[in-house]
Each structure stands twice: as structure tokens, then as C-alpha cells.
Amino acid sequence: MSDNFQLNCLKGRLAEHLVQDLFAQNGYNVFNYGLERTHPFLSRELRNNYHTTSKALRFMPDFVVQSSLTGDLFYMEVKYRSNGCFGFEDKFKDFPYKNAWFVIVSPEKIQCMHYKRLAAGFSITADTNYRLGRVRSFHLSKESIAEYEGYARQVFAGFRSE
């Protein structure tokens, strides 16, 4: 595996951990769900396997979060993007979790968009303002979101030379 691949995996894990902790600090139950976190060996084995079941397993969202206020459950897929941009590529056209939320962590901010909007052609850029605090389904304090965006700036500052 290349050093770049390892570095990208590290950045992704850091982004996942920030989002996991942000939700936990706001009273959510957070359950690891993604294959990379629950079964890393199997994840590597299935990387180039295109069988239907293999694809479904590889696309499992990173977390399931449950609101302690309402009991609502949400699929959560977390992506790190140094430029803050995310839109659906071909690999997401068969994404099986149509109710998932995609949380995009960048060194500048944390944004969020539902699968349906992404599938409809919308995208997240450094200039958009799809902030977590604006998602009515989530009950996250604006102060904690700002705090974790500050953590993201600190954590990813060392990667600016990407």
C-alpha cells in the first residue's frame, strides 16, 4: 500500500472520530457500523471484489447514530476532504442506504447533506453552507459544532501541504 493511501486512511479515521465524538457529546448513542471499523481485515479482502454482497458490505455507513431526545436513528457516512468538496461519483450510484447522511469534514468546516440531495446532483463545496446546525433532524448545539470545527482546523493543519 502506498504512503498516500495510508495517509488518506488516517485522515478519514480522524474525521470519523471527530464526528463520532461530536454526536456523542450532544447526547447521541453512536454505533460503529462501517466495515472498515468493525472488520478491517475483511474490508481489505473485499476491496476489489465486485460481488453484490461484497459491494453492499463495502458501502455500509460508518455509524448509526441515535438521538437520546427522540430515539430517531440515522445512517452516517463521514468523509474527509481537504478542499471541502464532495459530490456523488459513479461509485455511489448504487449506494444502498438511501436514508444516509453524508458528513464532510474539511480543515475549514463540517458540512452535511442527505443522500437524496446528493443523488439529485447537489454537491458540497468549500463555498456552500450545509452546516450540521442547519439540519433540523439533528439536535446539535451550535457551540459544540463550532468547537469541533476548531478541533478539525487544529488536527488537519499539519496536512496543509497535501
Q: Where are the domains of the chain?
A: 3-159
Q: Cite the DSSP H helix spans in the chain.
A: 3-25, 35-38, 40-46, 52-58, 115-119, 142-156
Q: What is the pLDDT of residue 110?
A: 96
Tell me the three cell numbers of residue 67. 438521538
Q: What is the pLDDT of residue 9?
A: 81
The rounded Cα 19 to chain-centroid distance in angstroms is 7
Average pLDDT, the chain: 86
User: Ranked by mean pLDDT, which of 39-43, 48-52, 59-63, 116-120 comes out on top?
Assistant: 116-120
Weakest-pLDDT range from 25-34, 54-63, 118-127? 54-63
Is a pLDDT exceeding 70 seen at residue 38?
no
Q: What is the pLDDT of residue 116?
A: 93
Q: What is the pLDDT of residue 162?
A: 46
Cα 160 from Cα 162, distance rounded (Å): 5
In which band, very low, low, confident or very high, does the pLDDT at 33 lie, cut at 50, 70 and 90? Answer: confident
- Mean pLDDT across 90-112: 88
Q: Which CATH entry fits the domain spanning 3-159: 1.10.3470, 1.10.357, 2.20.28, 3.40.1350?
A: 3.40.1350
Cα 129 from Cα 126, distance rounded (Å): 8
Weakest-pLDDT range from 8-12, 57-61, 155-159? 57-61
Q: What is the pLDDT of residue 41?
A: 58
User: Exposed, middle or buried, 79 (CB in 10 Å: 0-12/13-18/19+)?
Assistant: middle
User: For residue 140, what are the β-bridge partners?
Assistant: none
Indicate the pTM of the whole model: 0.86
The residue that leads in pLDDT, 48 or 12, is 12
